Structure 1
């Protein structure tokens, strides 16, 4: 493919013989360098057999014959599965082989090339911690539950459709953080204080905001022509939310021009800075 036009939506596939976390993480790290390109992402995990791989290749070839050439990332570790996937006519980036061959060359010995090892399943404690974080985050999505909220590492606050859920899931899946997100609705925004349920946890609260234009557009896709999607309603909600964030001195992140990865990195950086500040306080308060 020579290139894409500004109106093309590029199909992107992440392939794996395990969960696909690595393929998505590494592939998206490259894709975010092209902010002006629209991507339609599809994850195909657990490609365990050559027959599975053959079916995936048939699907990729069909897409490759379409008007827009797809982009394919794979981290398949099984040699038979990987070899079959590489027969596709679609452009494919073999992230596993690219990096594995380099590591083997430096170490001077072959790796085991096992799918489970690629995704860290051998570290049972780390794996279980991540799964517990994902379960907690799903339970506490969009204010569905406030049970055991004290266990949350992060509490995200924002009006509806400002990016709370994808950020929460990324922090849980990639970093093992227990994340709760709470929507600020009209009742909350009409008052002068944040919802009572989150007040004990302000030290771990973050506010998300966006632009009026972006919020209105996203909401219009969900409820066309509604008051909920009107620029006037969006402007009022964002202004009131920012007033509440400012009143409680919460860190605020504008999600309108940042990827989920960038938002998460800012949250992690703030958490680390806060932890360092708390660790220094007792020492700074003592006299020699």
Structure 2
């Protein structure tokens, strides 16, 4: 499986993952962003050719390439090709009666809308500065504050929401020492409307922690059960909305938070 683009290839990867999720096989994936020159394209087509010769089957290629000559050269390689934009662009052109004008990396142009670009950078910087309880300053600037036990998915969710939606996210972990007298910090009292909880099945939490610190009390089944029970009791008593992340991807967690809180997506 190849993801190929003259831009970041994020769109190709995202669509490819959604499509391949409908099938039972596990692909061997490679991503080739910024294929903007003949040299890069030549190297890529050689890899496709080698893959075909090595495995005896044509690889699948999800691609986005707007320059006609580059696209034509790519399509000569021995592979099954899926243009992630072609059918949609063509339908929009037909419906609007406006002819598209291909432009390299149009979807990722900084100069086109620099304000939104730098808004996203600012959101990422804010989220990193407020990761894992490092800082509780400037909470009034946060869009959402995620609470939960360690390893319940707070950090990856926070970063995804910052990078994809330009949201400023604070995340705070309740550690084992907090469990005996679990309560909301005073800093959160004035930000209650921004609080959102993440919980997880104790069995899944134990598995995750065992992979990180096998054999430790932190990763024990009893400790995980105790922490999850305490944090869920806190969420209920304080009327904090929360979701169970056990079987959800980061994308699904983020979307559910947006849905429950009513926050608007800031797409880039």
Question: Considering the TM-score relative to the shorter chain, is it more than 0.5?
Answer: yes
User: Given the alignment of the two structures, is residue 46 of structure 1 paired with residue 34 of structure 2, yes or no?
Assistant: yes
CA distance in 1, matches of 2:219, 2:29: 26
CA distance in 1, matches of 2:185, 2:33: 40
Which residues of 2 match residues 206-221 of structure 1 at below 5 A?
Answer: 206-221=196-211
CA distance in 2, matches of 1:223, 1:118: 42
Moved more, 254-263 or 235-244: 254-263
Of 164, 170, 188, the match for 1:198: 188
What number of residue pairs does the alignment pair up?
Answer: 262
Of 118, 136, 153, the match for 1:128: 118
Corresponding residue for 2:62? Answer: 73
Corresponding residue for 1:254? Answer: 244
Secondary structure of the corresponding residue to residue 151 of structure 2:
coil
RMSD (Å), alpha carbons: 3.0
Instruction: Tell me: higher relative CO, structure 1 or 2? Use CA pairs within 8 A at least 6 residues apart.
Output: 2
Secondary structure of the corresponding residue to residue 105 of structure 2:
helix
Secondary structure of the corresponding residue to residue 190 of structure 2:
helix
Cα deviation digits, residues 112-154 of structure 1 (max 9, x gap): 2223322354222222222221222222222233332321101
Structure 1 spans left out of the alignment, 5+ residues: 1-11, 275-288
Corresponding residue for 2:87? Answer: 98
CA distance in 1, matches of 2:204, 2:81: 33
Of 112, 119, 143, the match for 1:153: 143
CA distance in 2, matches of 1:42, 1:190: 47
Of 98, 108, 127, the match for 2:97: 108
- After superposition, the Cα gap between the structure-2 partners of 1:253 and 1:83, relative to the gap in structure 1 and judged at 3 Å, is farther
User: Given the alignment of the two structures, is residue 231 of structure 1 paired with residue 228 of structure 2, yes or no?
Assistant: no
Shift of 1:207: 0.7
TM-score normalised over the length of structure 2: 0.82
Aligned 8 A contact 1:50 1:84 in 2? no
Structure 2 spans left out of the alignment, 5+ residues: none
Secondary structure of the corresponding residue to residue 229 of structure 2:
helix
Secondary structure of the corresponding residue to residue 123 of structure 1:
helix
User: Given the alignment of the two structures, is residue 270 of structure 1 paired with residue 257 of structure 2, yes or no?
Assistant: no
Corresponding residue for 2:235? Answer: 245
CA distance in 2, matches of 1:103, 1:53: 28
Aligned 8 A contact 1:47 1:81 in 2? no
